[in-house]
Structures are given as C-alpha cells and as structure tokens.
Amino acid sequence: MSLEELAAQAAHCTACRLHEGRTHVVFGEGDPDAKLMIVGEGPGADEDAQGRPFVGRAGQLLDRILEAAGIPRSSVYITNIVKCRPPGNRNPLPDESKICSSLWLLKQIELIRPQIIVPLGSVATQFFLGEKLPITKVRGQWFEWNGIQVFPMFHPAYLLRNPSRAPGSPKALTWKDIQTVKQTLDRLGPKPQREIKASAQDPLF
C-alpha cells in the first residue's frame, strides 16, 4: 500500500469520536521517502480548515526553524498522532491516540521508514517514549524506538507562548536542538534503499 492509498482510507475514518467535529482529516504531507519525520499531537483550527499539518502560526514558526537550520520542509514528512482536530484544541485523549496511531501513524512510519523522528511536545513524545515525562526533561536527548532515533523537541506553539531568545530559553534551546538534528541528518548520508524481493515471475536483470 502507498501513502496515497492510506490517506484515501483515512479520509473516511470514523474509528474514534474525533471524526464527529472535523472539517478535514489532516493525514500528513512531505517527502514519502524522508529521513526525518516530524510528529505533533493533533491538528488545530487552521489545519482542520485546510487539511494540511502545521499551517497555522505554530506551523509557520516550524517552517522558519527548519529553514534556519537548512532543512527544507519539502525534505521531511510532517504529521500528527491524531488526524482529526480535538475539540477546542485540547490534547488527544489516550484512547483517541491509541486508535488513531494504530490505524494510521504506525503505517505511515512503516511506509516512510524515517531514520529520525522528532516528536513535538509532551503528547507526541509520550507516544514514542511510552511514559509521561515532562518535555523540559527529555527534549534535546536521543532515544530509540523500534530501531529509529527519536529526538523530542518543544512544540512551536509553546515557543509562541515563550518568545524570549535569552540563553536557556525555550527558543534558544530549540535552536540548539534543530542544529543537532541537522548535523545528525548530514552524518547519516543517503537513506538505505528498501529491499525488494523478486518473485519467480520477475526478471532478474
């Protein structure tokens, strides 16, 4: 199955209560062969209206962060734990996250095969680390999830609420973190090609 086929299925999802208030399913977008995958918690109002992830104020800040580090947005894949906007922009409930991620996020990761996942904020980080830890304690550290390097960072919405650029501020720490991600991406080099097994009917040339 391709990402396009998976997205077409997700567009009609009614597996959890979040579908009741959505305008659009916000499946994700970006390079289907990305080395870097960025995962937020869920769509906001702008994302729900447009059907695209990270297009509101937080998304515009994320674009500037990536651009400043020399990481084109088009080179990464961006999505969320849940694909429908939670009411009032609340955090996704545990059962919503579990249902949605099992249907869509895990399959996205399987298809894209990223080498690095950057979860933004506490909710997304909790999904990959398997426990509830303050983002202030785990951001800027490397973890491993199913053989993939995971590097939690502050959510851009948190940076909008904390605009200081002083040393040690969330913005200053985010600048340090995104440079670490960029340096690691550069060291990884080209992404290994997916192994394709030939069938008995396939030509071997």
Q: Residue 118 belongs to what H/E stretch?
A: strand 116-119
- Residues 118 and 132: beta-carbon distance below 8 Å: no
| DSSP 8-class letter at 103 | I
Q: Residue 149 belongs to what H/E stretch?
A: strand 148-150
* The pLDDT of residue 62: 98
Domain ranges of the chain: 3-185
pLDDT tens-digit profile, the chain (205 residues): 899 999 999 999 999 999 999 999 999 999 999 999 999 999 999 999 999 999 999 999 999 999 999 999 999 999 999 999 999 999 999 999 999 999 999 999 999 999 999 999 999 999 999 999 999 999 999 999 999 999 999 999 999 999 999 999 999 999 999 999 999 999 998 877 765 454 445 444 3
Q: How many CA atoms lie within 13 Å of 44's alpha carbon, on the beta-carbon side?
A: 12
Q: How far apart are CA 110 and CA 107, in angstroms?
A: 5
Q: Which residues contact 89 (CB under 8 A, 6 or more apart)?
A: 42, 44, 45
* The pLDDT of residue 126: 96
Residue type, 153: M
Q: Which residues contact 20 (CB under 8 A, 6 or more apart)?
A: none
CA distances in angstroms from 154 to 23, 51, 165, listed in the order given: 27, 23, 14
* The pLDDT of residue 190: 81
* The pLDDT of residue 199: 46
Residue type, 119: P
The CB density around residue 39, as the number of other CB atoms within 10 Å, is 28
- Residues 154 and 135: beta-carbon distance below 8 Å: yes
Residue type, 20: E
Please give the CATH architecture assigned to the domain spanning 3-185: 3-Layer(aba) Sandwich (3.40)
Q: How far apart are CA 36 and CA 76, in angstroms?
A: 5
pTM given for the model: 0.92
Q: Which residues contact 105 (CB under 8 A, 6 or more apart)?
A: 39, 79, 80, 81
